[in-house]
Structure 1
Amino acid sequence: MRFGLSIFLTVLLFNCKAQNTVSTGKPSGIESVIATRPKLVVGIVIDQMRYDYLTRFYEKYGTDGFKRLVNDGFNCKNNHYNYIPTYTGPGHASIYTGTTPKNHGVIANNWYDKFEKETVYCAGDPNVLAVGTDSEYERMSPHRMKTTTFGDENRLFTQSKGKTIGVSIKDRGAILPAGHAANGAFWFRGREEGNFITSTYYMNELPQWVQDFNSSDVAESYLKVWNTLYAIESYTESGSDLNTFEAGFNGKDTATFPYDLAALKDENAGFDIIKASPYGNSIVADFAIAALDGEQLGHDAITDVLTVSFSSTDYIGHNFGVNSKEIQDTYLRLDQDLARLFNALDTKVGVGEYTVFLTSDHGAIDVPGYLQSVKIPSGYFDGRAFSSQLNTFMLQQFNASDLIENISNNQLFLNKEKLDSLNIELDEVQNALVNELINYKAIDKVFSAEAMQTSNYTKGIEALLQNGYHQKRSGDILYVYDPAVISYPKTGSTHGSGLSYDTHVPLLFYGQGIKKGSTLVKTEITDIAPTISALLGIGFPNGATGQVLEFVVD
């Protein structure tokens, strides 16, 4: 009897100690894991940011933006995309789902739907309506993305108590990261409106804080002169301001500083001109900071998720190219916007109470015209000549000119019904096209859908193509250009390949649960979502194929 009483008193004493430990803020065991979850995870994607923008402009960055993440966080210096194509839609989906287009199904920004027989948009959804605008072009949702994001998994884990909010200039930059179960995704409607909007997928009217933001005329304040932040002579990390490699804006004879956005807006789609200036990033930072209070993000112990995509870097890169003064100025200004955001997080969520990662959805190639001027092999692919040559071949080889249904995203889609009616075998046409296309100028590699489905590639461009190949959505033939060859106008630049200028992007982690340091070990974009999921102690996104970066997590 005395022995049983002794056990009872021991257990009681242990429980009292445990309760005291919790009440004094010193949890142990599983309680420690829960207690150390950040109040807020902030995922930052900088559209079209090559890794070398981090190092090339480093000395001119301030101490509180990029350098804060590099010096006080963890820098994965050898981070790459592991699939083709490196576009915005697939990039944002892959970052947050932890897998590639092979599984999440977002195979491009736009792609040809073999079943609907039409081109579809990655975030387009005719079954919803826009909210905050009457435009028919803003009917958007994540319904084409097949797998969950880590934000979705956090919503499931917290019984929907943890919020997820997505913010971007681009609809797809807000919607795909936020995921399926998000509380809201907001993007910028330019043209004659200049407002942040959403769709009925999320809500039937804009929250009051969004209405207040829109009515504050913040967008109007950014219709101003864009000049260099510092003396243009100090921008020694970029090329000359006046050159033949940049497009510029309608209504201005040269692509040179300064740019009077208010004077140019009428010839450049109204408020859309803000998107193509550094002030597009500034208004996204403004809106993200407003969302912290408006949605009460990070205000309690249940983890929330905020996804922020800065898209103006992409618009400016397409317009002016990798080596432009405009790109350098944009990143120096973005550095200041990041500092504003981080300072707001310190104030509103608390120092050490949040976790941030920063990456990009793809890189970009230098303007081929510029590369040619410095004797680097590069060039342009003539899509019209390619289509004409291909039709001639099909007519000669199969006595039919309509066997190819669509050409897009470096893929050919064959007309299966026509093949059946002519009793032509699919693999016969695929093999003939592979053997024909490999002889075309500026085409480096060609693969059939059969090869993608029956082979197991583990390295090289072949493996990247396979990771981007979705059996129900991708085409019958996939082809790859020569290095530094693009199908694009002669001014400005683009992306999409599996080469390092498109695949090598920053990956920085910072904040609660993150070690300080760096690595040259190769990491992949699909590793981000599993790493954040492990940090939070939640289920991984349901299609995740990436690995947890153990050396990042403290």
Structure 2
Amino acid sequence: MKKYLTLFLFAALIYSCGAQQESNNNSILNTDKVSSSRPKLVVGIVVDQMRYDYLTRFESKFGEGGFIRMINEGFNCKNNHFNYVPTYTGPGHASVYTGTTPKYHGIISNNWYDKDIKKSVYCAQDDDVESVGTDSWAGKMSPHRMLTTSVADENRLFTQMRGKTIGIAIKDRGAILPAGHTANAAYWFYGKNEGVWITSTFYRTNLPEWVKDFNDSDAVESYLKVWDTYEPIETYIESGSDLNNFEGGFKGKETATFPYDLAALKEENGGYDILKATAYGNSLTMDFAIAAIEGEALGQDNDTDVLAVSFSSTDYVGHNFGVNSKEVEDTYIRLDRDLERFFNYLDENVGEGEYTVFLTADHGAVDVPAYLQSVKIPAGYLDYNSRKEKFNKFLTNTYGTTDIVENISNNQVFLNKAKLKELNLNFHDVEQALVDEQISYSNIAKVYTATAMNSTNFTTGIEALLQNGFNQKRSGDVIVVDDIAHIAYSRTGSTHGSGLNYDTHVPLIFFGAGIKKGETFDKTVIPDIAPTISALLGISFPNGATGQPLGFVID
């Protein structure tokens, strides 16, 4: 009996080992399947100044292959917001790709006052590099002021630098910050009298042949033509009248109305720069992005590549003509067609199901306050000159000098610490006194101290957004929040920068390989994007990421 029991146990052991080996082999096979299922190409699309409601407002004008294809085949996060202030281009692009906010990545605005060198700096400015592709200063740019990695950086590290990263935008900061520190290159458009795509020696010492070929072609020149509406203008019922008092327009044209002869208007509007403020600037960007995929052989091997594309012209058009303009509507209708062209190209050249795309924006925009006033909605314009005059008078009367304030910019007051010490003034007392003074001014809704930002954990409201945008080393000592729909701007066109819904609510659509079909009204925030892409790729999150992966979008 013992002999049979021993044989039974031995057989069971052999079976168990075999089963375990089979299980291990299956695990290995499954692991291989996971690694080989990574998309060959990740395309990040940031549409500059795109409010969420442009998706729904212009929906009837979109075709089936652009925005609608992304929504129908991908995952639409309908309640996606920025979770910090200020909502500007530089911080927006940095936050999308780093998975965190200005509090950590350090890009607190497009320009800010540097407390160490005592002057204003630009977010992408780098005097230690040289221009490539132009003799102008426009190429002296890099991401060196961004303190954290981007998801593109992490993909480069994960693939031992085999996976490529290319950043593209008309705006330098729209190309540079998303591409991160390790990019193969970032390219941006220099207009003026040149009309070329350029880069900097941060990335390389010369332009690759495919960029030279593009610059030598007639691609840019071809868009100096008449800009008229894509569809009959009378069908553009989703926007206001073409002739109104709320739009800027171009020099040399009496009214801001279609059509616009760009070749005739070129010389009075910055040469090739005029293209930036038209729908054709996006088409030019798309042409260049497609040339980059071909020229760099993106998505052609098993190491995931990243293409970061920002469409900057939507912002220029919005600033010039405003949220409710027919020019904005036409720009999005044409962008939709460019997206369809792009996706068809990716299907053909990378492979349908072989690439992943996300689309979002760097901020929204407020309706032109003059228009809001015309329909009896509270809105207005800020007079910073009179505010500054009143504030200087307070400083002189209270402290005998205005020198205790070193700089005022980006709705922040920077105190002169050396002057406070010289006058034997207590920093916290002065800080609070400035808050008490500023809150009494018209069109100022709230005022906070840096001490409050550093010592209090805000979890809701504008206070939490301010705190997420507050970088202790770079931000000011007093922070001012203006009234809703009140801006320091011309009475034509519009702008952005606040923590209000019109600036924070932007699209977020995931589409392609590894993405579920669906939608949600659950709140998502911009810093969630990079961790989601990292999770999809199975790579490390950006090193300063505070967002969370949106597991419900991943298939």
TM-score of the pair, normalised by structure 1: 0.96
Are the aligned partners of 2:138 and 2:190 in contact in 1 as well (CA < 8 Å)?
no
Indicate the residue corresponding to 1:286 in structure 2.
287
SS of the counterpart of 1:551? Answer: helix
Indicate the residue corresponding to 2:255 in structure 1.
254
SS of the counterpart of 1:44? Answer: strand
Are the aligned partners of 2:405 and 2:414 in contact in 1 as well (CA < 8 Å)?
yes
1:102-501 pair list within 5 angstroms: 102-501=103-502
Indicate the residue corresponding to 1:28 in structure 2.
29
Are the aligned partners of 1:37 and 1:535 in contact in 2 as well (CA < 8 Å)?
yes
Indicate the residue corresponding to 1:68 in structure 2.
69
Aligned amino acid, residue 360 of structure 1: A
Partners of 1:275 and 1:28 in 2: CA distance: 50
Indicate the residue corresponding to 1:543 in structure 2.
544
How far is 1:29 from its partner? 2.7
Partners of 1:60 and 1:495 in 2: CA distance: 26
Partners of 2:168 and 2:59 in 1: CA distance: 26
Are the aligned partners of 1:285 and 1:341 in contact in 2 as well (CA < 8 Å)?
yes
> Relative to structure 1, is the Cα distance of residues 16 and 465 closer, same or farther in structure 2, using a 3 angstrom cutoff?
closer
How far is 1:217 from its partner? 1.9
Aligned amino acid, residue 430 of structure 2: V
Partners of 1:28 and 1:380 in 2: CA distance: 63
Task: Tell me if 1:57 matches 2:62.
Answer: no
Are the aligned partners of 1:196 and 1:210 in contact in 2 as well (CA < 8 Å)?
yes
How far is 1:327 from its partner? 0.2
Partners of 1:29 and 1:308 in 2: CA distance: 33
Aligned amino acid, residue 540 of structure 2: G
SS of the counterpart of 1:480? Answer: strand
Aligned amino acid, residue 361 of structure 1: D
Indicate the residue corresponding to 1:77 in structure 2.
78
Aligned amino acid, residue 43 of structure 2: V
Aligned amino acid, residue 57 of structure 1: F
CA deviation digits over 1:418-463, x for unaligned, max 9?
A: 1111111111111001001111000000000011001110000000
Aligned amino acid, residue 472 of structure 2: Q
Aligned amino acid, residue 388 of structure 2: S
Partners of 1:438 and 1:408 in 2: CA distance: 17
Are the aligned partners of 2:227 and 2:262 in contact in 1 as well (CA < 8 Å)?
yes
Aligned amino acid, residue 312 of structure 2: S
SS of the counterpart of 1:29? Answer: helix
CA deviation digits over 1:375-434, x for unaligned, max 9?
A: 000001111111111100000111112221111111011111111111111111110010
CA deviation digits over 1:127-175, x for unaligned, max 9?
A: 0001000002320000000000011000111100101100000000000
> Relative to structure 1, is the Cα distance of residues 339 and 395 closer, same or farther in structure 2, using a 3 angstrom cutoff?
same
Partners of 1:233 and 1:126 in 2: CA distance: 50
Deviating above 3 A after TM superposition, structure 1's stretches of 4 or more consecutive aligned residues are 6-18
SS of the counterpart of 1:246? Answer: coil
Partners of 2:283 and 2:29 in 1: CA distance: 42
1:507-546 pair list within 5 angstroms: 507-546=508-547
Partners of 1:221 and 1:29 in 2: CA distance: 50
Are the aligned partners of 2:149 and 2:180 in contact in 1 as well (CA < 8 Å)?
yes
CA deviation digits over 1:5-25, x for unaligned, max 9?
A: x9699869968995xx89xxx
How far is 1:183 from its partner? 0.5
Instruction: Tell me the matched-pair count.
Output: 546
Indicate the residue corresponding to 1:86 in structure 2.
87
CA deviation digits over 1:15-45, x for unaligned, max 9?
A: 8995xx89xxxx7332222111100000000
How far is 1:239 from its partner? 0.2
Q: Which consecutive residues of structure 2, in runs of 5 or more, have no partner in the other structure? A: 1-6
Partners of 2:490 and 2:403 in 1: CA distance: 28
CA deviation digits over 1:487-521, x for unaligned, max 9?
A: 11111100000000000000000001000000000
Indicate the residue corresponding to 2:554 in structure 1.
553
Are the aligned partners of 1:278 and 1:313 in contact in 2 as well (CA < 8 Å)?
yes
Aligned amino acid, residue 102 of structure 2: P
Partners of 1:304 and 1:541 in 2: CA distance: 16
Indicate the residue corresponding to 1:97 in structure 2.
98
Indicate the residue corresponding to 2:39 in structure 1.
38
Aligned amino acid, residue 413 of structure 1: F
Are the aligned partners of 1:358 and 1:509 in contact in 2 as well (CA < 8 Å)?
yes
Aligned amino acid, residue 338 of structure 2: D
Are the aligned partners of 1:102 and 1:469 in contact in 2 as well (CA < 8 Å)?
yes
Are the aligned partners of 2:449 and 2:479 in contact in 1 as well (CA < 8 Å)?
yes
Partners of 2:452 and 2:399 in 1: CA distance: 22
Partners of 2:161 and 2:219 in 1: CA distance: 32
SS of the counterpart of 1:126? Answer: coil
Indicate the residue corresponding to 2:3 in structure 1.
none
Partners of 1:17 and 1:381 in 2: CA distance: 68
SS of the counterpart of 1:43? Answer: strand
Aligned amino acid, residue 221 of structure 1: S
Are the aligned partners of 1:46 and 1:361 in contact in 2 as well (CA < 8 Å)?
yes
Aligned amino acid, residue 121 of structure 2: V
Task: Give the CA RMSD over aligned residues.
Answer: 1.8
Partners of 2:320 and 2:200 in 1: CA distance: 29
Are the aligned partners of 1:33 and 1:537 in contact in 2 as well (CA < 8 Å)?
no
TM-score of the pair, normalised by structure 2: 0.96
Partners of 1:419 and 1:428 in 2: CA distance: 11
SS of the counterpart of 1:218? Answer: coil
Partners of 2:316 and 2:478 in 1: CA distance: 30
Partners of 1:120 and 1:303 in 2: CA distance: 34
Partners of 1:203 and 1:15 in 2: CA distance: 50
